[in-house]
Amino acid sequence: MVERTIEVRPKMGAEAASRIGRRRDVARKVFLQIHRTIGLFAGAVFVLVGLSGAILAFRENIDEMLNASIMRVDAPAQTAYRSPDAILGAARAAMPADGKAERLTMPRHPGSAAAVTYMVDTDDLETDVFQLFVDPYTAKVKGQRLFLHRGKTFSQPLIPLLMAFHWTLLLGFNNAYVLGSIAIFVFFSILIGLYLWFPFNGDWRLGLKIKWGASAERLAYDIHRSVGIYCAAFLLVMLSTGIAMIFKPATRSVTSVFSPVRPKPEFGKSKPLPGQSPIGVDAAVAAADKIFPDGRLHWILLPSAPTGVYVVGKQSDDEPNRTKTSRNVGVDQYSGKVLHVQDRNDFTGGEKFIEWLFPLHSGEAFGAIGRSIVLMIGLTPLTLYLTGFLRWRQRRRAKRRA
């Protein structure tokens, strides 16, 4: 009996291993087909989104370079900026009579102009949005550009147009979920690619090498596999942060399960005072400076109605987001009283998580190095798509010959 048992167990072990191997082979074939299908169709969109993201990594620099005559200024050696009131006053003098100033954005570096965004209502109840650029050292208008004509996406300048494509595929803000859904498929395709890369019966180090002297078929396979594994973590971060921002209400709801997430801040309402004119921008900035004495003046959102308020943003050096600021002060436009303060230092863990989504996605949280990484990662989908397509075509030709 003992001898018989000893003989049967190895056979059972071999049979079990064989079954596991067959199941693994079937699973790999199924996952490979899913990976190819998603790659061929959703991957094509992912390539265009990645290329636009690569350009947008340095969007401010590119925008200034393309519009240097109006967006760049000569920075004097020791001259300070003119007051916000002077800059806004120069812009208002150049605006049409029916123009409504919406915000003043201060220069992001010494060689750039301040930007004043204003709107003009058209005869057909639409709105044109303009940007006026002012030299912050002389308070002289450099020029202006049409930012958005009657809500038409294609009327925007190149960089804002690329931003719209990157977020919505030019389908409109309300249809951004289309791109978000595609991104979800690509996200899972990358996870499947990681599973397919893992060598169950071989040396995993072979999956990190490219045999440059091999055949075209093997070279395409090696490049696809190696680039995919090296860039997988970055791609997953880009996709997950993008998905989270597109489906932001759902992201906020899920995040609030783990940590409180407050609604977007309401900065209060101004109380008109009989016989009293609104205070100037300088006075609103002075009120905000008492709350945030440190940091750089980033923007001033201007009152759009008699009950509207000034919202003054003071950006700190340690904020991950450089496009906007989460240190804002709402100021009554008549009394100069502080009505509401948004301070990122008081953020909960969930609010900090949401604050980091865009800086991680754009790379700006880590300065020029982070943006450079995003630029390179934006080119990765093109490499993966081309090598994956070549490999798919090679296999189809081989099957036809067989």
What residues form DSSP beta bridges with 299?
A: 105, 313
Q: Which residues contact 164 (CB under 8 A, 6 or more apart)?
A: 153, 156, 170
pLDDT for position 229: 92
Mean pLDDT of 336-359: 97
Total-model pTM: 0.89
Amino acid identity for residue 110 in this structure: P
For range 302-312, the mean pLDDT: 96
Q: What are phi and psi of 315, to 5 degrees?
A: -85, 125
Site of tokens 């904020």 = 319
300 dihedral zone (left: phi>0; alpha: psi -120 to 50; beta): beta
CB 210 within 8 A of CB 226: yes
> Taking each helix axis from N to C terminus, what angle separates 84-94 and 281-291, rounded to the nearest 10 degrees?
150
pLDDT of residue 368: 95
Taking Cα atoms as reference points, which of 128, 124, 78 lies closest to residue 100? 128
pLDDT tens per residue, range 229-265: 999 999 999 999 999 999 999 999 999 999 999 999 9
The pLDDT-based confidence of 202 (bands split at 50, 70, 90) is: low
pLDDT band at residue 64 using 50, 70 and 90 as cut-offs: very high
Q: How far apart are CA 168 and CA 195, in angstroms?
A: 30
Determine how many CB atoms are found less than 10 A away from the CB of residue 150.
Answer: 12
Q: Is-contact 133 112, C-beta < 8 A? A: no
